[in-house]
A and B are shown apart, each in its own frame.
Chain A
Amino acid sequence: MNALNRQIDNLGLWLVWLIIAVTLVFLIAPIVVSILMSFDARSYLGRFPPTEFSFHWYERFFSDTYYLNGLKTSLIIAVIAAAVSTFAGVSAAIVLDRYDFPGKQAIETVFLSPLVIPAVVVGFALLLFFALIGVFQGYPRLLAGHIIITFPYTVRTTLAGLTGIRRNLTEAAMTLGANEWQAFWDVTFPLARTGMIAGAVFAFAFSMDDVAVSLFLTSPDTYTLPVAMVSMMRTNFDLTIAAASVILMLFTIVLIVVLDWIIGLERVIGGGVYRS
C-alpha cells in the first residue's frame, strides 16, 4: 500500500513539476523573444533569433514623435485618471464601509460594475455619448474613459483595506475624546493607506494598459501609447513595437518595485493564515 502510494506520489509530483515548468516557460519565453527581437539589427521583421544586435529600433522609437506623443499622453492621462479615481473611490469606500443605508448593496454593485462590463461596450457608449453632447477633444474623452474603468479598482482595494481595520481602534479613539472625523483622520486613514495606494497603483497600471476603451476615444493629436502601438501593428508591423514594449515593461517593473517598497507585494494580493 505504502509502496503504491509512494509511486502515485512520485508520478503525481513529476506531473505537477512538469506542468509548472512548462507553464513558466510559456509565460517567460514570449517576453524574452520580444526583448531579444527589439535588439535585432536587421531592418525588416525576420525570423527569430536575431543574428546581430543593435539599438536601431530604440533610436527609431525615440526619434518618432508618433510614439513619444503617445507615451506623453498615456502618462498624463494615467496620472490624472488615477488621482481622480483614487479620490472618488476612497471617498465612496469610506461611506460604504462606515454607514448602513438602504440601497447600499446596490450602489456598491453599480460602483464595481465597470469591472464586469466589457471594455469595448464602455468605449463605444462613451464615444456616442460625447458625440451627442458635442465633446470631441481627445483629453476629456480619454480621461472620462480611463476614470470610469479605473474607479472600481480604487473602491475595491480601499474597501478591502478598510474592512481589515478593526472598528474598536476607531471606537477606542472616540472614547478618548476624538470626534468621528478626527478618529478617521488619525486612526483609520493611516491604516487604510495601503489599500488606497494599491488602488492608485492599480488604477495607473490599468490606465497605461488600456486599449479597448481608448481606441474609441482618441483624437488625431491625442492618443495613448497602446493606441499608437495598435495603429502601428495594423499599418506597419515592425520591431519598433518591440522596443516600445520593452520600454512599457520597464514602467511595469518600476510599478512593482514601488508597490513592494510601499506596501509589500504579499499584502497587495492578500496574505493567508497558514504559511509553511
Chain B
Amino acid sequence: MMKTNLTRRELLKAAAASGVATATMSFPFVNALGSSPLSVVDWGPPWIDNTKKIAANWGKSDINWTLHSGGAASILPKIKAAWPNPPYDLVDNWSPVFLSMIREGWAETVTLDDCPNLADVPESLISKDADGNWKNIPRGTSGVFFTYAPDNCPIEINHIDDLLSPELNGQILWPNPTLNTNLQVVALAKARGGDEFNMDPGWEFLVELAKSGNIGRVSANTSDVITSLETGETCVTFVDQGTLSGVKGTKLKHLTKTDESLKTMLFVSGWVVLSSSTNKELAFDLANYTINKENSELYYQEVGEVPVNGTAEHGIEHLRFSGEEAEKYSVIPDWDHLGKELDGWNKRFETDVVPLL
C-alpha cells in the first residue's frame, strides 16, 4: 500500500518537475531577493500598526509584513506547505496556535540570552515544550468575553440566557468556530454545565440560538466584528480584547464580571521565532525589543491587551481579576485539546448550525 503510494507520488513529482519547474524558474524576479529582510506575520490593526511603529524605532532591518487572513491558525497551512523553508521568521500568535507550532517542531527555543526582557515576564505565561524549553516570547495576556453595545441594544444583558430573548432578533454577532478556537461554544457549554471536553450542552445552546433567529451575522475575521459593531448592524458578540480596540465609534459594556454564566477565557499572545529562520538573531532582537517596558506600555495603549512585562503600567480594569473573581468569572481552557477538536467542531458548526441560520 505504502509502496504504491510513494511511487505514484514520485511519478507525479517527476512528471511535473520537469515541466513546471523549468518553465517557471527561469523568470528573473523569482530569486531577485538579495539580502533578506525580516519576515514578520501579524494581525491587522491594531496589532500591525503597533508593531510597525515599534519596529521603526528599532530600525535594525527592513521588514516584510504579512497579515493573518482569518483565524490565527490560517498561517499554519502556509508554513506547512513551505516547510522547511517557510517565508517567515517571526510570527505573532496566541495560546492555542503556540501549541500547534510547538507540536510541529516549528518554534525555536528561546533563552534569557536571546531575549533578556523575558526576565520581567512571569515564567508561567511562557509556552514550553515537553522538555520544558521556552518556546515563545509573550507580549500580552488578554481575554475573550461577551460584550454588548447598550446604546444599540434593545435589552440589558445580565445573564447568558438573555441571548435567547426574542427582542435580540438578528442582533447577535456569532464568531464562527475558527475564530477564538471556538471558545464561544466552550463558554456556552460552561454556562450549561459542560466544558471543552463535554461540548454537547454548548452545541445544544447554540442550536437554540440559531433557531431563535437572533444570530444576525457570523463573523469570520476581525473586520467583520469591527464593521458590524460600528455600523450598529449587531450589538452583542463574544470577542477578544485586542479586536475590540479597533471598535472606536460604538460604546461597549464588557460582561467580564457580570454573572457567573458569562465566562471570560484567558489567553496569552506573543511571538514565535520559527526554527527554520535564517534570521533568528534579528527576530529575537525585535521580539525582545517589543516587550521592554516602554513598548509594553505602548502595546497596552494601542492594542489594549494587558502587557506581560510586570514592570509596565496598564489600566484594563475589566480584565483585572481578584483571586475570587478569577475563580468565578474566568476560565483557562485546555489549549491543546481545543486545537485537536477544531476540525470536528468546524464540521459540526457547518452541519448543525449554519443550515438553521
Contact = CB atoms under 8 A, between A and B. Distances in A.
Interface residues of A, number: 31
A237 B25 CA distance: 36
A233 B30 contact: no
A83 to B, nearest CB: 12
A45 B223 CA distance: 12
B249 to A, nearest CB: 6
Interface in A125-149: 127, 129-137, 139-140, 143-144
B178 to A, nearest CB: 12
Interface string A71-86: 0000010001000000
A232 to B, nearest CB: 8
A2 interface: no
B70 A132 contact: no
The B interface, classified by DSSP as helix, strand, loop or mixed, is: mixed
Contact of A140 (B30, B33, B65): B30
A77 to B, nearest CB: 11
A131 B77 CA distance: 11
Contacts of A136: 81-82, 85, 87
Nearest to B14: A133
Contacts of A133: 12-13, 16-17, 20-21
Contacts of B20: 130, 133, 135, 140, 144
A137 to B, nearest CB: 5
A44 B229 CA distance: 13
Contacts, number: 93
B320 interface: no
Contact of B249 (A44, A139, A220): A44
B337 interface: no
A234 B69 contact: yes
B221 interface: yes
B278 interface: no
Nearest to B18: A133
A235 B223 contact: yes
B247 to A, nearest CB: 11
Contacts of B33: 221
A73 to B, nearest CB: 10
A118 to B, nearest CB: 18
A221 B40 CA distance: 11
A25 B249 CA distance: 32
Interface of A: 44-45, 47, 66, 76, 80, 127, 129-137, 139-140, 143-144, 219-221, 230-237
